[in-house]
Amino acid sequence: MDITNDAGAPSRPTKTILRALAGETLPVPPVWMMRQAGRYLPEYRATRAQAGDFLSLCYNPDLAAEVTLQPIRRYGFDAAILFADILLVPQALGLDLWFVTGEGPRLSTATTPAEIAALKPADAVHDTLGPIYETVRILRRELPDETTLIGFAGAPWTVATYMIAGRGTKDQAPAHALMEADRPTFAALIDRITDATIEYLSAQIEAGAEVVKLFDSWAGSLRGPDFDAFAVAPATRIIAALKARHPGIPVIAFPREAGPRYSGFARATGADCVALDNSVDATWAARNVQRYGCVQGNLAPHHMVTGGQALVDETRRIVAAFSSGPHIFNLGHGITPDADPENVALMVRTVRERR
């Protein structure tokens, strides 16, 4: 987001994550974690119990803001990420959404031209997701001045895999099957999600998000032209629309398990930063991805469970590998519920040890 001085001229952002996203190489990288507000924290579990269920927590602005703030209070992360869920968008478009304890989300499906045509228009996200925007407004008031607020959405391909299968799947086979059997129908679904995602993220920015992130958790299952059509192209359209509406807004893209396709992803889509999963070697990524701009990542989440010297050594190795360019330290995927909160504290101390 642009910052101007009294004369109206752009000035350098002061928050560390915004500085990294603007291309600045910092002596100590800023740090936050995907899913940093989650079940590994006892205070989160207490608030979740107070809410009653996951969706009630997402739609209660006061409680959603509380769980977003909890890891900031405990660890002093450089960013807070809005507590919500990627499947709120398909729910806003008219699909039924519920969560099964121990199994995860379930959705009614949209797999035919008639079902896709019956989805609500993109601006339905404004009618349904008002509580999410209120959470953003609360967070902008409550967060420390130095902490960046990140909004997010699921990328269209990843969201589509749930809308087609009605649940998460190991290999996204139902989505691939629809893509192969009826590509125009599949493309129409991607377009509907893309339009809604633009509206949803734009509303988050208007409410106070300073950065937004696109999570394409299943991008790695797309190959060749399909990756271009359904990972690159929708991200490009979303980012261009957001930057047209909100000049200067930074966007982080996470095409998880993209492998060699990480290289060039930022240039192709207009993203300001590419988040890397932990299957990517940091030295390779520094040469082939960071050379074009900011990168985020990419410590393996299992270190948050096992801890010890291996956690320290790997954290130092990643920081060193990315030390010659803009870098935001993070995990290569979300922290798991069995993580030890003390290992998170150790990671943060290790990243910041050169302060």
Tell me which amino acid residue 355 is: R
Residue type, 125: V
> In the annotation, is 162 catalytic?
yes
Exactly one of 39, 74, 167, 352 is catalytic; name it. 39
Of 45, 85, 137, 140, catalytic: 85
Q: 308 Cβ partners below 8 Å, 6+ apart?
A: none
Structure tokens at 41: 């924290």
CA distance 103 to 28: 39
Closest CA to 116 of 200, 195, 185: 185
Query: Is 48 a catalytic site residue?
Result: yes
Catalytic residue check, 39: yes
245 C-beta neighbours (distance < 10 Å), count: 13
- Residue from 246, 286, 292 nearest 269 by CA: 292
**CA-angle at 226, arms to 221 and 231, nearest 5°:** 75
Q: Cα-atom radius of gyration of the chain, to the nearest Å?
A: 19
Residue that has been written with the tokens 């095409």 in this structure: 255
What gap in Å lies between CA 178 and CA 175, rounded to an integer? 5
How far from the centroid of its chain's Cα atoms is residue 110's Cα? Answer: 24
Is 167 one of the catalytic residues? Answer: no
Catalytic residue among 35, 192, 237, 261: 35
Distance in angstroms between the alpha carbons of the first and the last residue of the chain: 26
Catalytic residue among 48, 237, 256, 261: 48
CA dihedral 17, 259, 282, 201 (to 10 degrees): 10
Catalytic residue among 40, 44, 133, 162: 162
Catalytic residues: 35, 39, 48, 85, 162
